[in-house]
Chains A and B, each alone.
Chain A
Amino acid sequence: MEDKIIKQISLFAENKPGRLAHIADSFREAGINIRAFTIAEAGDFGIIRMVVDKPDAAHNVLHDSGFTVSETDVLGIGMEDVPGGLGMIADVLGKQDINIDYAYAFVTKTEKALLILRVNDIEAAIGILMDSNLELIDMSDIQEI
């Protein structure tokens, strides 16, 4: 079950010019590839969340550049890139009382969509999703996308 957990990098950033460029530059130097990325913006600050191919390295790079950064456990679910894909997942989890804290999605090279989810009970969610025959992505899949 452990191996179905994806390490997402989350960092606190003030909403001011140049912050994103700074992060992107340090990743380029460290050879880290971003697979999925989103910013939750709240006025003066934002939380940047991303799934990368080398989460531990990314954490170190960002920490050493002085960012407040954490690794957060999230789930990655492969979805057919067709209407109704997202609704089904939300439905399965909702029925079992699992709350989605946040979610974001992106489309991969293989014509599948990948949904990243943070839920209130990750272990339970993994069980439910596997029982529903949904495709959970792990870290090695992330590296190959």
Chain B
Amino acid sequence: MIEYWNPLVERMPLDELEVIQEKKLKDLVKYVYQHSEFYKERFDDFGVKPEDIKSLDDLKKLPFTYKSDLRDTYPTGMFCVPNEQLVRFHVSSGTTGKPTVVGYTQNDIDVWTTSLARAMTSIGVGRGDIMQIGYGYGLFTGGLGAHYGAEEVGATVLPTSSGNTDRQIELIQDLGSTVIACTPSYFLFMNEVSDGLGISIKDDTTLRVGIFGAEPWSEEMRTRIEESTGIKAYDIYGTSELSGPLFTECHCQNGIHIWADQFLIEIIDPETGEQLTEGERGELVITTLAKEALPLIRYRIGDITVISKEVCKCGRTHPRIMRVLGRADDMLIVRGINVFPGQVESVLMQIPEVGEHFMILVDRLNELDIMKVQIEMTDEAFSDKVNDIIKLEQKVASDLKHVLNIAVKVELVEKGTIPRSMGKAKKVIDNRSL
């Protein structure tokens, strides 16, 4: 098993990487100014010219781009190349609004694939592995993205896409899949279904690695998954606007490596837009340094995280972002308090009696927001004493209140009541009409 996909680049000292970044940034601003009417106007309105960008420090002089820009210029208004240079389109699912279209040149596909090849190598996935890809194939970037990356590192791809869960489990067994890539919600569902079939993922399959993403998940969920299924669970990160899933944690499971020769990251104060320093929590902003069709300058991806530039124990020098608990779009405001579904998950997964699936319901009653969390109980936790169940509900409510600072009504529902998902799980039902 090889340790690095590209040792020279992955272990390059950060100051040398920054020299590359600086050169690529200067080229990029010239490129977008010249090739995209959108960026030219944006720069002009902002009073900045490509020549003003002389160093990495000048990055802060550039305007931000937003998901709304992609929507406003739907479908291809921000593209820097004519359609005949594109080899592919992906279209986002529009979970948080109108869909957005992303186009790729051959080079864009190659950069994307390389990014994932480095990532997969960093978690020990490569030749000899059978990777079952349970992300949806098609307009969604998850399936095809993981597919190209896996082929690049020499793994054998089993392109199951999502759904048909009994078949997924049968194939894990029959072909001896060693790696599974899907949403964490879907893997939990698979685990539940296979339990029902009397198959233990831990004892009866050769699965050893899970690559889980496309939705936020907590460290506590990782512990649950690893303990119950015996696999190593890794977080994969990306978004369709940036190409798709791009980065993962390495085998150290301590932050996601963002390849600095291809992407430039900053953390800003989401309110003021000011750059924050390493280690400060804020909103992640990404500039693509190698994309041709749809380069993004200072893209406000909306995730709240922390950057670490410390060299990782694995030897990689590229900066890491720490676990993302939720995208700003997923944030709920309940009685004026910010709540991320990820925080709820993190509390619930620390209580062994609580099952992996949950639903947050928000209603407004007499001008007051009411937040309810539905949970299921594990089979082992069921006592036939009413008091024990009431105590469990009270414990969950009190732990949630402690972390979220708002009162939450906890409702224990029958096993299987909370909808299972084969893709991105819906964890919030907001019935307020604001």
A residues near B (Cβ < 8 Å) are: 8, 10, 12-14, 40, 42, 44-45, 47, 49, 66-70, 72, 101-102, 118
CA of A61 to CA of B247 in the docked complex: distance in angstroms?
45
CA of A49 to CA of B386 in the docked complex: distance in angstroms?
11
Among B386, B389, B412, B414, the residue within 8 A (CB) of A66 is: B414
CA of A45 to CA of B383 in the docked complex: distance in angstroms?
13
CA of A28 to CA of B221 in the docked complex: distance in angstroms?
40
Taking CB atoms, residues of chain B closer than 8 Å to A12 are: 377, 382, 389, 412, 414-415
B84 at interface (Cβ–Cβ under 8 A)? no
Contact with A along B397-425 (1 / 0, CB 8 A): 00000000000000111111100000000
Contact call B415/A66, Cβ cutoff below 8 A: yes
Contact call B412/A45, Cβ cutoff below 8 A: yes
CA of A82 to CA of B72 in the docked complex: distance in angstroms?
83
B379 at interface (Cβ–Cβ under 8 A)? yes
Contact call B384/A47, Cβ cutoff below 8 A: yes
CA of A102 to CA of B386 in the docked complex: distance in angstroms?
10
From residue A111, how far is it (CB to closest CB) to chain B in Å? 30
Taking CB atoms, residues of chain B closer than 8 Å to A66 are: 414-416
B313 at interface (Cβ–Cβ under 8 A)? no
Contact call A40/B386, Cβ cutoff below 8 A: yes
Taking CB atoms, residues of chain B closer than 8 Å to A10 are: 382, 384
Sorting the interface of chain B by its residue count into under 10, 10 to 19, 20 to 34 or 35 or more gives 10 to 19
B167 at interface (Cβ–Cβ under 8 A)? no
Contact call B385/A101, Cβ cutoff below 8 A: yes
Contact call B386/A47, Cβ cutoff below 8 A: yes
Contact call B390/A44, Cβ cutoff below 8 A: no
Contact call A42/B390, Cβ cutoff below 8 A: yes
Contact call A68/B411, Cβ cutoff below 8 A: no
- Asked whether A70 and B384 contact (CB < 8 A) given A12-B389, A42-B390, A47-B389, the answer is yes
CA of A14 to CA of B416 in the docked complex: distance in angstroms?
12
CA of A101 to CA of B382 in the docked complex: distance in angstroms?
16
> Which B132-189 residues have C-beta < 8 A from chain A?
none
CA of A141 to CA of B147 in the docked complex: distance in angstroms?
62
From residue B355, how far is it (CB to closest CB) to chain A in Å? 9
